[in-house]
Structure 1
Amino acid sequence: MKTTLSFDDWGTPVSSSASIGASINSTTQPVSHNVDSQTYVATGSTMAAVDPEQKRVVNGQADINQLAPFKYPWAWSFFLNANRNHWTPLEISMAQDVHDYQHKLTPAERHVFENVLAYLTTSDILAMRNIGLAVMEKMSAPELQIYQARQVYEEALHTWTYQHCIETLGIDQREIYNRYRVVPEIHGKIALANRRLQGVLQSGRPLTDRDALHEFAMAYLFFAAVFEGCWFYNGFSPIFALQRRGLMKGAAEQLQYIMRDEVLHCAFGIRVVRQLLDEENLTLDPQALRQMWDEAEAAEMAYAGYILREPILGYNAGLHVEQFRYVANRRARQVGLTEPFPGAENVLPWLDEQANLRKEKNFFETRVTEYQTGGALVW
């Protein structure tokens, strides 16, 4: 009995009305390479045209493979804007940093520099896994996924950058990459983030379940507003404090490029959270929010107390923690939430300037590393 193949909506071969036994038997016969093309014509597998209004952040019913028409044109703008900040760590000279690290940094400054790197090396891998494994596959609009694909690449690029700094400066890789495991104050921040990540990865519940949806929204908010929006944004400031005194300028310039990426990551994540809450008519539990901010503050206080156990010129643990609170208030307002730390002050007014890097190079002395096209980035 001859079996005619047809295909489902995703192009997967399915048997015809012929019996299963006949289908099995047909596979034992020699295969002809001159099969009539009509044999493979899909029957009855056409799909309705996509209505972009059917798209949703999660639980959407539109075709995940069809990019346009956009429902979220702002997501596509994020993707285009991210590509304007293209760079690699090899473009920035680290020669002066090697001299600074070996001959100019005090023991306290070297302690700060090394432990900031120790934290960042693991953090960006966590951020990459969060977007690549826990978030992207739950997005049901391709314009959201495409920016997040770029974000995954950027987190890998940031990890390369830290590795490049560590290798160039001759820091013991076995020791510094293990600090997040053996230093409690660094481990605390990593463990807190990993708990959020694992909660989403291992839940196994569809996001049509309201409890699972709330857990996902809280995890996404944590990574966007706390992990990248506060811990990363504020976390580079000890290195920028060295840069402001003419030290470790190459490493700081690398972090300026990373910071520009992180600003976009944070802004995109907050925009997605707001869209998600609106579409799903979801209200975040105030107690869960309070716990999130309190845990984040406690972890940041312990971390600052360790990396800045001895203050360095122009920077100390108190400034670091107060700036965290100030930035946390900003992130909460951006989401439309109550400020978690009322009255926190902007004690590092120069920090925002680091995201607005404008490089002017002498063409005859160095390669041009200003990759922007079409003017400054739009945040």
Structure 2
Amino acid sequence: MKNTNAVLMQWDDPLSVAIPESNQSLFSEELAHFVSEQSTDQSDNSEWAESLPPINPEDKRVVNGGADVNQLAPFKYPWAWEFFLNANKNHWTPLDINMAQDVHDYQHKLTTEERHVYENVLAYLTTSDILAMRNIGLAVMEKMSAPELQIYQARQVYEEALHTWTYQHCIETIGLDQREIYNRYRVVPEIYGKIKLANRRLNAVLTTEMDLRNRDNLEQFAMSYLFFAAVFEGCWFYNGFSPIFALQRRGLMKGTGEQLQYIMRDEVMHCAFGLRVVRQLLKEENLKLDARAVQAMWEESLAAEKAYAGYILRDPILGYSAEDHVAQFQFIANRRAKQLGLSEPFPGAESRLDWLDEQASMRKEKNFFETRVTEYQTGASLSW
């Protein structure tokens, strides 16, 4: 027996109650009438007789490619497709993680200094991930001329939005003043300094009119994307989670720490993909970046990180200080430079947080009574 209570989605308003099933026959009749009219209109139009030659995948390029951007395969960059496949094994949302203990920790266990660290890390990250989402979606993705690159970046845009949701979920769950937290990036100079620097380096390429056949524009784009991949995501994000991980390893704010472990796995992939694209771009376009300009990028990024660390860690917390934070930035910066085949910007820098790599890694063993039992991936293990 037909269920007369069934409904269809309204395309103009998909969240509203939709059209009853009893009216579905009207749509079928209208569709049949439309198809019938079209089939009788077989006017001779040479437009439909045109065709194009098959593409050659070797014509693909990171930018300024000569192939059809709508044709995915054959691949020229199969590694980009692998990034996309691996990213889609990482299904999670912030609702998967139990935050009840964090509420108790924040209210009853954290010191004033630890609350200051926790709040300001979230204040910085909330704005940064929106900035990252806009940069990939508006500045980078539309300039890529190979679809396998664009497809991974589409996933990346989604993940940055997911990360923003995660920070919002933490802020909302803990009960922080959203108006105050979200405005800190504007009113706290040390947080604003990092955002201002990122905007200056990234906003220059936030235009669709940028002609990348112009060598000056191309070099500017390469430097901008290098900053985004190596500094913004590769160092500032990677280093930005460390203060929360320092609390987590002491058994505090474990839910937030686990949220950031999920985000960290995404960001490591974002950084690795970005660095791979930069290397490919420099090779294809025969670009050689100005070593002095690259060093200046590292040094101003370090200056902004020092100011930020001095503010959020003006009073050290147990096991973590501003000096640790800055030293770790220099160590990670050297790692990113080596991945690009560039000179180390801070020779001799050493890791001050020997526990970080282990703490940042996802753990599969979960206490059933503390958190939801969930695997981070639905497929095979993801290599870091």
Post-superposition CA distance 1:294-341 (Å, at most 9, x none) = 110000000000000000000000000000000000000001100000
CA, structure 1 residues 93+202, in 2 after alignment: closer, same or farther (shift >3 Å)?
same
Query: Does 2:349 align with 1:344?
Result: yes
1:233 corresponding residue in structure 2: 238
Query: Does 2:363 align with 1:358?
Result: yes
Query: Does 2:302 align with 1:297?
Result: yes
Contact preservation (8 Å) 2:97, 2:372: no
CA, structure 1 residues 44+34, in 2 after alignment: closer, same or farther (shift >3 Å)?
closer
1:106 corresponding residue in structure 2: 111
Query: Does 2:184 align with 1:179?
Result: yes
Give TM-score scaled by structure 1 length.
Answer: 0.89
Give 1:38 shift: 4.3
1:373 corresponding residue in structure 2: 378
Q: What aligned pairs does 1:164-175 form with structure 2 within 5 A after superposition?
A: 164-175=169-180
Cα distance in 2 for partners of 1:150, 1:204 equals 24
Cα distance in 1 for partners of 2:299, 2:293 equals 10
2:262 corresponding residue in structure 1: 257
Give 1:85 shift: 1.6
Contact preservation (8 Å) 1:228, 1:265: yes
Query: Does 2:101 align with 1:96?
Result: yes
1:156 corresponding residue in structure 2: 161
Q: What aligned pairs does 1:176-325 form with structure 2 within 5 A after superposition?
A: 176-202=181-207, 204-325=209-330
Count of equivalent residues: 348
Higher mean alpha-carbon deviation, 35-44 vs 299-308, is at 35-44
2:3 corresponding residue in structure 1: none
* Secondary structure class of the residue paired with 2:318: coil
Post-superposition CA distance 1:326-357 (Å, at most 9, x none) = 00000000011000000000111222224431
Which of 336, 341, 349 lines up with 1:331 in the alignment?
A: 336
Query: Does 2:131 align with 1:126?
Result: yes
Identical amino acids, percent of aligned pairs: 77
Post-superposition CA distance 1:112-169 (Å, at most 9, x none) = 0000000000000000000000000000000000000000000000000000000000
Q: Please tell me the residue identity of whatever aligns with 2:338.
A: R
Structure 2 unaligned spans of 5+: 1-36
CA, structure 1 residues 372+330, in 2 after alignment: closer, same or farther (shift >3 Å)?
same
Higher mean alpha-carbon deviation, 364-373 vs 300-309, is at 364-373
Give 1:53 shift: 0.5
Cα distance in 1 for partners of 2:288, 2:360 equals 32
* Secondary structure class of the residue paired with 1:174: helix
CA, structure 1 residues 33+216, in 2 after alignment: closer, same or farther (shift >3 Å)?
same
1:78 corresponding residue in structure 2: 83
Structure 1 unaligned spans of 5+: 1-31
Contact preservation (8 Å) 1:259, 1:354: no
Alpha-carbon RMSD: 1.6
Cα distance in 2 for partners of 1:325, 1:333 equals 12
Give TM-score scaled by structure 2 length.
Answer: 0.88
